Homo-oligomer: A and B are copies of this chain.
Amino acid sequence: MEFNKILQQQKEYSLSLLQKDVARLRSEGRDIIDLSIGDPKDVTPDNLKKNLIREVENMTHSQYPVSGGDADYLNSVARWAKRIYNTNLDTKKHIFSCSGTKEAIYKMPMLLDWSNGKKIFIPSLSYPVYEESARVFNVPVVQLPISKESQFLPDLNSISEDIWKTCGLFWINSPHNPTTAIASKAYFEQLLSLAKRFDFLVCSDECYNDIYYTGQPTSCLEFDDSIQWIVFRSLSKRSQMTGLRVGVVISKNEVVMAHLKKMRSAMGVGTPTFIQKVAIPAWDDDISLKKSSEIYKQKRDILLPVLKEKGFQIFGADASFYLWFSHPKLPTSQALYDYFLDHDIVIAPGYAFGSDGEPYARMVYCETIETLEKAKEKISKFRPL
């Protein structure tokens, strides 16, 4: 048998490799604190468990999920979008459920015809799934350089018209993983206007948009009259529901949505209905959501001062649950990684996110407060550089 060559070339997911490091070191007896994966470790809220139990109790017979999503679930998303962004959504045409946004993001390259030479535009530092899926589906990628100088966002003005003409999909992720950069409303305006002019689709991965400390970051959902965007929203991070695998895809481009729904109907990607039902109160509950941001801020503030004290330079940090930082005396992301590991803390080196990851590293603060306090203690005892 000859295997798919792209798969053979594919490296193992960098963050999975870190997880193996963690497991190995722990088995050697090291007291490792793992701050490398954005998987919230807070106790599952009691009301979420109560809702899950109620849905199971109400289950009469276990049926296939309805293609596109449960009507009540889609309605709760439409209510939320109206309430928060004043966006008017038709649940039949503009929304479908997904089993976590990762699976929906992965399949986006399948939507378009790429025989015309179009490409997928990705920031040079990104959630790895954008690039991996482009590669698997054999779509050429344009890496848009991002750096401290560009505020960790692609510089839209530096891209020539000839390059814009080759754009099919443009991935934007604001607040940005790993750098926490936030794109302004003006940035989105410019991007959507370019998308209209050059006929490309802005894929807006907004999974961190509900975790913020200085005003809610701009969402494509604010652009009610644009058909150039498709938005991916997740309950995983904002509502501590990573383990339930439920999210939503939204666009006012009805042709795009009709094609995606048709594509997905044969894929077997429906989310169990009882899980969608449990997600309804999560979309409806703005109060818990606000509280969740407050808790993340509290967590950020456990680590931020001690890192600054030790000479780390921290960028952004006004949203999401990541800290993106460098240190003048540690010239590579590997050096940062090694220095933390020497003190029993695992972080994600910048190179795991792309070519412009040097000399940075990412630390998550979605662990429990207890663990973060322990991490603070360890950092305060870092040997001098």
A255-B133 Cα distance, complex, nearest whole Å: 22
- Bits for A96-119, please: 1 = Cβ < 8 Å to B, else 0: 000111111110001111001010
Chain B residues lying within 8 Å of A136, measured Cβ to Cβ, are: 110, 263, 266
Per-residue CB contact flags for chain A residues 78-105 toward chain B (1 = under 8 Å, else 0) read 0000000000000000000001111111
User: CA separation between A263 and B12, bound complex, in Å?
Assistant: 9
**Chain B residue contacts of A59, Cβ below 8 A:** 44, 49, 243
What's the tally of chain A residues with a CB closer than 8 Å to chain B?
A: 77
B112 touches A63 (CB 8 A): no
Interface residues of A in 112-128 (CB under 8 A from B): 112-113, 116, 118, 128
Tell me whether A103 and B7 are in contact in the complex, defined as CB-CB below 8 angstroms, given that A49-B56, A56-B56, A63-B41 are known contacts.
Answer: no
What mask results when residues 1 to 20 of chain A are scored 1 for a CB within 8 Å of chain B, else 0?
Answer: 11111011010110010000
Across the interface, do A111 and B266 meet the contact criterion of CB distance under 8 Å?
A: no
Query: Are A274 and B60 within 8 A (Cβ)?
Result: no
Q: This chain: how many copies in the complex? A: 2
Find the B residue at minimum CB distance from A104: B268
Q: Is the CB of A42 within 8 A of B67?
A: no
Which residues of the partner chain B approach A270 to less than 8 Å between Cβ atoms?
Answer: 245
Q: Which residues from chain A sit less than 8 Å from chain B, CB to CB? A: 1-5, 7-8, 10, 12-13, 16, 37, 39-44, 48-49, 52-53, 56-57, 59-65, 67, 99-106, 110-113, 116, 118, 128-129, 132-133, 136, 168, 199-201, 240-245, 255-256, 259, 262-263, 265-275
